[in-house]
Amino acid sequence: MADVQLVGVTKRFGAVTAVDEVDLQIAEGEFVTLLGPSGCGKTTTLNMIAGLEEVSAGEIRMGGRLVNDLSPFERDVAMVFQNYALYPHMTVGENIGFTLRLRKRPKDEIHARVARVAETLELTALLDRLPRELSGGQQQRVALGRAVIREPAVFLFDEPFSNLDAALRIKMRGEIKELHQRLGVTSVFVTHDQEEALSISDRIAVYRAGRIEQVGTPEDVYARPASRYVARFIGSPQMDVLVGDLVGSAGGAVDGAADGVAGSAPGYRLGSAVFPVPPGLDIKGPVDMGIRPEHVHLGSEGVLARVRIVQPIGPATHVTVEWDGGTATARVGGIARLVPDDPIHVAFDPAGMVFFDRETGRRIEVGGSGHG
């Protein structure tokens, strides 16, 4: 195993800067996901770590060794691609053991290691089959086996589940996580799927236009997003980011009474409604307020609203409500017996509020709220 360090790593394609001065420290044995939309630079970063793309500026180190000028083979990395890249004329066993044959390892050693990897990935019964005889999930496990058998210092995964259906993607996430727990090899995983990143990562690096917007644990990027961009990118459904005004002791005077809260109480005003904010909140200047569905409560208290959309998702229901001045989505356990245009009251948990500077989009630290 080896740690991976990126220091000021930049990649330019002519006049286009695909990756812009990225700094990232990946500890030995850590599983880090590069997450972001298409074209944000995450795959280019992975290719530079692998040695498939040259670095325009900056340094990449593995195990403390500068690897900028080393070939992929010399870097001791193994890469798993989204299209599996299996040899169609070779059996499963031959595909898995191909790298060892290139290294001219003894046949007995190759046979033993292929058998061991096949057992780990539940491929033993498939060793004599050709790739065309396998399902997508089985082919992906063969691609994993070919990487695992090399016993590399670093695993690199380039959107390996993108060609699988939804149910199989979820199953493969569990298999990847279990495999990493068993082997403990430093791993860098690329995906645009935020749910995938949250479920398997030790830490996540959220990319935006060639730069890293935030690096943190899944809990950090979900509950304490560094910016409005991260807040909206992470979570399903995404965080509601509402544009209003702080009033009362939280930021200014309240002009008369408002729906849902006493006239002089500190809060965040959205149209005719004012929602209570965390006690002692002291923020100056215009801010936007973010709230996740689990912190939006529907019932008989709060601001009078009406149901706009009801989306059952099995164990829960997502209910979007609107009032004069805003909309928000709540996650309700079980089946919600609501229909569009039903009147209902909505309230926000102040402890779940996150505030963003309106001009910069960066999260504002809020002492004592648990979300600063």
- Contact between residue 277 and residue 250 where contact means Cβ atoms under 8 Å apart: yes
pTM summary value: 0.87
Residue 231 per-residue DSSP state: H
Question: Which residues touch 360 (CB under 8 Å, ≥6 apart)?
Answer: none
| Helix (H), strand (E) at residue 206 | strand 203-208
pLDDT at 122: 86
Residues 6+ away with beta carbon under 8 Å from 193: 161, 169
Query: Topology of 240-357 in CATH?
Result: OB fold (Dihydrolipoamide Acetyltransferase, E2P) (2.40.50)
What is the structure's pLDDT at 345?
A: 96
Q: Domain residue spans in the chain?
A: 4-226, 240-357
> How many CB atoms are closer than 10 A to CB 326?
22
Query: Hunting for tokens 């630079």 — which residue is that?
Result: 41
How many other CB atoms are there within 10 angstroms of residue 79's CB atom?
23
Per-residue pLDDT of the chain (372 residues; tens, 9 = 90+): 799 999 999 999 999 999 999 999 999 999 999 999 999 999 999 999 999 999 999 999 999 999 999 999 899 999 988 887 899 999 999 999 998 998 899 999 999 999 999 998 889 999 999 999 998 889 988 988 998 898 899 999 999 888 778 888 888 888 889 889 988 999 999 999 999 999 999 999 999 999 999 999 999 999 999 999 999 999 988 999 999 999 986 554 444 444 544 445 689 999 989 999 998 888 888 999 999 999 999 998 999 999 999 999 888 999 999 999 899 999 999 888 899 999 999 999 999 999 999 999 999 987 644 344
| Residue-level pLDDT at 277 | 93
Residue 148 is predicted with a pLDDT of 87
Would you say 351 and 314 are in contact if contact means Cβ atoms under 8 Å apart? no
pLDDT value for 249: 63
Q: 4-226: which CATH architecture?
A: 3-Layer(aba) Sandwich (3.40)
Which amino acid does the sequence have at 53?
E
Beta strand pairing status for 186-191 and 31-35? parallel
Q: pLDDT value at position 250?
A: 56
